[in-house]
């Protein structure tokens, strides 16, 4: 009966490390088949949010449901529904691109015939067919990121988490990745991504959440947010709502991710 069935529901999620409150009570909802961008500077708590939703760490307080399952009590059901591409390359550089994908297919328990077909299909889709039998260590940054994302898709996840998917990529690779994200939507998946690039959120997201200091300071469509702050770009919005620019130093984020 739900008009907009939800893929992700977050209620009052909080997380601290020692005395440092990384997340101070986050509420958000992501409808199925949409892109939600969590936008914020380094150290805002974006990676921590993704780690909680992808069952890597547990929250101190609050509740989160992904694909209908509580992340704290049904982590294995959540894991069956999600795919995660983290900030740090999660490929096996000693294996070839094809072997990396096959590893994922085997771990997803795909039957051998189906696994081979799925691997070929993803290699073609991510423009990696020519490099398929080379070790991933020889790949360029953009190719590694594409392989990383292809590995995430092998098991056909319904909800995909992308933690700063384009950080460190050149403009062309970044646009290629945006195109891939848009294509994923046509398959009906839900995407939750973090970014510090306002342009990226503007381009990709149906809903943008502005995260600053562990709190969501604003949520809405890119257009709504721009109207709210009376600015031309999300940069203006960020400055208007937080009193500082969206890009600050990276020291804090290093602490929260390692």
Partner 1 sequence: MTTMTYTARDSATMLRRNLKHLIRYPSLTVTIIVMPVVFLLLFVYVFGGTMGAGLPGGPAGGGGGGRADYLHYITPTILVMTVASVANSTAILVAKDATEGIIDRFRTMPISRSAPLNGHVLAALAQTVLGVLVVLAIALALGYRGGASVAGWAGAAGMIVLMGWTVTWLCVALGLASGSVEAASNAPMPLILLPFLSSGFVPTDSMPRGLAWVAEHQPFTPIIDTLRACLDGRDPGSDAWWAIGWCVVVTAVCFWWAVRLFGRVGKG
Mention every residue, 6+ apart, whose C-beta is less than 8 A from residue 40. 46, 194, 196, 210, 211, 212, 246
Burial 80-96 (b: 16+ CB within 10 A, else e): ebbbbbbbebebeeeeb
Name the residue nearer to partner 1 (CB basis): 157 or 222: 157
Name the residue nearer to partner 1 (CB basis): 152 or 242: 152
Least CB distance to partner 1 at residue 219 (A) = 25
Name the residue nearer to partner 1 (CB basis): 41 or 157: 157
In the complex, the residues that contact partner 1 under the rule CB under 8 A are 17, 51, 54-58, 76, 79-80, 82-84, 86-92, 94-95, 99, 103, 106-109, 135, 151-152, 155, 258
Least CB distance to partner 1 at residue 53 (A) = 10
Least CB distance to partner 1 at residue 112 (A) = 12
What is each CA distance from 135 to 80, 152, 173, 226, in whole angstroms?
Answer: 28, 18, 20, 45
Specify whether the CB–CB gap between 207 and 191 falls below 8 A.
no
Name the residue nearer to partner 1 (CB basis): 103 or 240: 103
What is each CA distance from 156 to 79, 211, 249, in whole angstroms?
Answer: 12, 29, 36
Least CB distance to partner 1 at residue 195 (A) = 18
Cα 84 from Cα 80, distance rounded (Å): 11
Name the residue nearer to partner 1 (CB basis): 58 or 140: 58
Least CB distance to partner 1 at residue 125 (A) = 19
Cα 133 from Cα 50, distance rounded (Å): 32
Task: Give the bridge partners for 16, in sequence order.
Answer: 21
Name the residue nearer to partner 1 (CB basis): 139 or 238: 139
Tell me the residue ranges of DSSP E strands in the chain: 6-17, 20-31, 35-39, 61-66, 69-70, 82-85, 159-163, 190-195, 207-212, 215-220
Least CB distance to partner 1 at residue 21 (A) = 15
Least CB distance to partner 1 at residue 161 (A) = 8
Specify whether the CB–CB gap between 159 and 7 falls below 8 A.
yes
As given in the structure block, the two tokens for residue 190 are 């839900």
Name the residue nearer to partner 1 (CB basis): 42 or 242: 42
């Amino acid at each position: 009966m739900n008009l907009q069935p939800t893929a992700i529901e977050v209620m009052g999620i909080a997380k601290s490390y020692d005395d440092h409150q990384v997340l101070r009570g986050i509420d958000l909802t992501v409808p199925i088949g949409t892109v939600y961008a969590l936008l914020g500077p380094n150290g805002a708590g974006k990676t921590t949010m993704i780690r909680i939703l992808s069952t890597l760490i547990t929250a101190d307080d609050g509740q989160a449901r992904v694909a209908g399952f509580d992340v704290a009590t049904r982590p294995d059901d959540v894991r069956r529904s999600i795919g995660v591409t983290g900030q740090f390359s999660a490929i096996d550089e000693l294996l070839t691109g094809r072997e990396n994908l096959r590893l994922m297919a085997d771990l997803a328990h795909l039957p051998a015939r189906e696994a081979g077909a799925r691997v070929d299909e993803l290699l073609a889709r991510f423009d990696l067919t020519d490099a398929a039998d080379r070790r991933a260590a020889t790949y360029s940054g953009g190719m590694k990121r594409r392989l990383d994302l292809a590995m995430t898709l092998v098991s056909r996840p319904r909800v995909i988490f992308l933690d700063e998917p384009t950080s460190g990529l050149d403009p062309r690779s970044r646009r290629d990745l945006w195109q891939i994200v848009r294509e994923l939507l046509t398959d009906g998946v839900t995407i939750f991504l973090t970014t510090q690039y306002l342009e990226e959120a503007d381009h990709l997201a149906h809903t943008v959440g502005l995260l600053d200091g562990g709190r969501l300071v604003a949520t809405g469509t890119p257009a709504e947010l721009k109207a709210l702050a009376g600015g031309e770009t999300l940069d203006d919005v960020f400055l208007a709502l937080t009193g500082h620019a969206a890009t600050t130093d990276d020291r804090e984020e290093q602490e929260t991710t390692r």
